Amino acid sequence: MHELEAAARRLEGKDVSFICLDCMGCTAEMKRRVSETEGRPVILQWTLIARLAD
């Protein structure tokens, strides 16, 4: 298991509405893997910045 999925699993049972991957180097593939692992909405930092700037 990749360390990203392991980190996502540590959120199981926690009261978390969504997950924000806050590294500019995170990719859409990383987002997909975290979302599949945790089953919660995931947003990438650069996506959020682009939407706010639009």
* Burial class (CB within 10 angstroms; exposed 0-12, middle 13-18, buried 19+) of 1: exposed
How many Cβ atoms are within 10 Å of 48's Cβ, its own excluded?
Answer: 13
Averaged pLDDT for residues 19-36: 90
Averaged pLDDT for residues 7-21: 90
Averaged pLDDT for residues 14-32: 90
pTM of the entire structure?
0.76
pLDDT at residue 22 above 60?
A: yes
State residue 25's pLDDT score.
Answer: 86
State residue 4's pLDDT score.
Answer: 83
